[in-house]
Amino acid sequence: MSRARHARTGTEPVTALSALRLRLLLSAVFTPLFVAGAIVFGVWWGRAEQGDAVGPDPLRVATLICAVLAVVALIDLLVVIRRRRSASRSASR
């Protein structure tokens, strides 16, 4: 099995790397923020009634958006952690 994941198709640098440190920082910051947002909007959505200034429909959308973004941020966090561990293992060999 070759070490390259994809064949080079253009002029990208041979040693191009993703900004894993930045992705780790952003995912670590935004995962709990999106989870908290989903909880806050979910509770607000549960208490909202049709006559309120902000009805239940926009709150449902905000809750679902925050929940989806929390899942995406969590998946990215897990991917970055896995890539950093595999890079450190291959560097120590």
| pLDDT at residue 5, rounded to an integer | 63
**pTM score of the predicted model:** 0.77
Distance (Å) of CA 79 to CA 23, 36, 61, 62, 71: 10, 22, 27, 26, 12
pLDDT of 6 above 80: no
Taking only the tens place, the pLDDT of each residue in 12-50 is 777 766 788 999 999 999 999 999 999 999 999 999 998
Taking only the tens place, the pLDDT of each residue in 68-87 is 999 999 999 999 999 988 88
Write down the domain spans for the chain.
28-89
> What is the residue-wise DSSP string for 8-71?
--SS--TT----HHHHHHHHHHHHHHHHHHHHHHHHHHHH--TTSSS-HHHHHHHHHHHHHHHH
